[in-house]
Amino acid sequence: MRRPLRPVIALGATVISLLLLSACQPATTQQAASAPAAVEVAVVQLQPQAVTLNTELPGRTVAFQKAQIRPQVGGIILSRNFTEGSEVKAGDTLYQIDPAQYQSAVNNAKAQLAKATANLTQAKAKASRFQDLRKSKLVSQQDADEVFALHQQAEADVLAAKASLEQASLQLTYSKVLAPISGRIGKSAVTAGALVSSGQAEALATITALDPMYVEVTQSSKELLQLKQALANGSLNAASTEVSLTLEDGSLYQHKGQLQFSEVSVDESTGSVVLRAQFANPDQLLLPGMYVRATLNSGVKTAAILAPQRGVSRNAKGEATALVVNNEGKAELRLLKASRTLGDQWLIEDGLAAGDQLIVEGLQKVRPGSPVKAVPFEVEPAADAGNATGNKAKGNGAAL
């Protein structure tokens, strides 16, 4: 018995109607259903700002003044008149050399001066008499000339005797070895009874002036050239000459220094230039030869673009990159030129501009070209002193 075809035909008509209905729906409705939803990201709108660029350079402390003590006359050391490691003043007697032979030389020079003075008195009187006799033509011109010459010779002998006395007195003075500068004196190389000689190679002691103190640092000639060019073309403004100092243990030295000068030549072996700064050292915390790091003000960049480090990453080539929200509301990849870090931010030389919206949160959820919903990024206030400061997007209760 043949089954009726009416139910089958009705089912087929229903299926065809559904297919036609789905084909007639607008394309926009299908596209809307398949388009990805915009991902919410936190952004920072970049604004130009003035920043002071600093340069940290390694260096060593150098004594403000340093004098090696050497005797200017020879003899036996009678006494040492200072305590090793103590402070001495300029003019203090450090050593006493036996003055006996120098005192004898002074006495002899005084006697020679007295003799020359007596001869001068006699020659002067004789010359005066011969001058009167010559006017009366009672003596010959030759005899008068001889007397006048003897008078002049006597005057010269007096001058020579005075010079000898001065030299002998100076040698006697040098028997006292005086401090040429004020400062702290080190250990003594000799004791009482030692024989010393004039201008000997070994120093008797060394005096070092510790307040103020110099710090000498080295900077590459390339960096110095770049800095001068930046100052010349106006991209940097001159900053103050103030210098900060970090000690060997990482602590910050309490006194600020002032940059004094830079060397006029480049060290051919290292390609660097020496810079010198001066620091007050009232507590004598700084000692010569200490390793330090000095922070110098390179200049002021008046319209710097700073990008938070959390918004900057590196690609496979090591180049700095960042994602920004463009005018179409999509994430746009930028290739950056970041020159240095300032705190937790990068100084951007190229790739970002004022007004750009830099994505700093939600980077793991977006790709270049993806639609995004930008919300301002703000620092979450700490709940208490024991909690670390967090970050969140305004309007979003959960931290990104």
Q: Give the separation between CA 210 and CA 283, rounded to whole angstroms.
A: 9
Phi, then psi, of 355 in degrees rounded to 5: 95, -15
Between 36 and 68, the higher pLDDT residue: 68
Whether residue 63 contacts residue 288, with contact meaning beta carbons closer than 8 Å, is answered with: yes
- Determine the pLDDT at residue 172: 92
**CA nearest to 251, candidates 286, 289, 282:** 286
Mean predicted confidence (pLDDT) in 361-377: 82
- Report the 3 state secondary structure along the chain: CCCCCHHHHHHHHHHHHHHHHHHCCCHHHHHHHHCCCCEEEEEEECCCEEEEEEEEEEEEEEEEEEEEECCCCCEEEEEECCCCCCEECCCCEEEEECCHHHHHHHHHHHHHHHHHHHHHHHHHHHHHHHHHHHHCCCCCHHHHHHHHHHHHHHHHHHHHHHHHHHHHHHHHHHCEEECCCCEEECCCCCCCCCEECCCCCCCCEEEEEEEEEEEEEEEEHHHHHHHHHHHHHCCCECCCCEEEEECCCCCECCCCEEEEEECCCCECCCCEEEEEEEECCCCCCCCCCCEEEEEEEEEEEEEEEEEEHHHCEECCCCCEEEEEECCCCEEEEEEEEEEEEECCEEEEEECCCCCCEEEEECHHHCCCCCEEEEEEEEEECCCCCCCCCEEEECCCCCCC
CA angle 361, 362, 368 (to 5 degrees): 115
Highest average pLDDT, of 132-141, 190-199, 291-300, 360-369, comes from: 190-199
Mean predicted confidence (pLDDT) in 78-106: 91
The dihedral built from the CA positions of residue 108, 111, 113 and 115, taken in this order, carries a sign that is negative
Q: Give the separation between CA 319 and CA 323, rounded to whole angstroms.
A: 13
* pLDDT tens column, 154-201: 888 889 989 999 999 999 999 999 999 999 999 999 989 899 998 888
Whether residue 94 contacts residue 205, with contact meaning beta carbons closer than 8 Å, is answered with: yes
* pLDDT tens column, 233-248: 555 445 556 788 888 8
- Determine the pLDDT at residue 269: 67
- Determine the pLDDT at residue 264: 60
Mean predicted confidence (pLDDT) in 326-331: 84
Q: For residue 106, how many C-alpha atoms fall within 13 Å in the half-sphere facing its CB?
A: 13
Reported confidence tier of residue 107, pLDDT bands at 50, 70, 90: very high
Q: Domain-by-domain residue ranges, the chain?
A: 49-62+209-393, 71-97+178-202, 99-174
Report field, pTM of the whole predicted structure over 0.85? no
Q: Give the separation between CA 292 and CA 57, rounded to whole angstroms.
A: 9
- Determine the pLDDT at residue 129: 73
Question: Which segment of 238-247, 248-257, 319-328 scores lowest on mean pLDDT?
Answer: 238-247
49: how many CB neighbours lie within 10 A of its CB? Answer: 12
pLDDT exceeds 50 at position 293: yes
Dihedral angle computed from the Cα positions of residues 156, 161, 166 and 172, in that order, rounded to the nearest 10 degrees = 160
Q: Which CATH class is domain 49-62+209-393?
A: mainly beta
Q: For residue 3, how many C-alpha atoms fall within 13 Å in the half-sphere facing its CB?
A: 5
Q: For residue 229, how many C-alpha atoms fall within 13 Å in the half-sphere facing its CB?
A: 6
44: left (phi over 0), alpha (psi -120 to 50) or beta: beta
CATH of 99-174, one of 1.10.645.10, 1.10.287.470, 3.40.50.1860, 3.30.565.10: 1.10.287.470
Reported confidence tier of residue 392, pLDDT bands at 50, 70, 90: very low
**CA nearest to 354, candidates 22, 46, 23, 29:** 46
Q: Give the separation between CA 144 and CA 133, rounded to whole angstroms.
A: 9
Token pair for 72: 């200017």
Dihedral angle computed from the Cα positions of residues 114, 120, 123 and 128, in that order, rounded to the nearest 10 degrees = -130
Mean predicted confidence (pLDDT) in 142-155: 78
- Determine the pLDDT at residue 223: 64
Question: Which segment of 38-42, 185-189, 379-383 scores lowest on mean pLDDT?
Answer: 379-383
Q: Give the separation between CA 176 and CA 252, rounded to whole angstroms.
A: 44
Whether residue 72 contacts residue 97, with contact meaning beta carbons closer than 8 Å, is answered with: no
pLDDT exceeds 60 at position 31: no
Question: Which segment of 124-138, 196-210, 362-376 scores lowest on mean pLDDT?
Answer: 124-138
Q: Give the separation between CA 390 and CA 387, rounded to whole angstroms.
A: 9
Token pair for 373: 């919903």
Mean model confidence pLDDT for the chain: 77
Q: Give the separation between CA 379 and CA 392, rounded to whole angstroms.
A: 6
Q: Which CATH class is domain 71-97+178-202?
A: mainly beta
- Determine the pLDDT at residue 19: 47
Reported confidence tier of residue 142, pLDDT bands at 50, 70, 90: confident
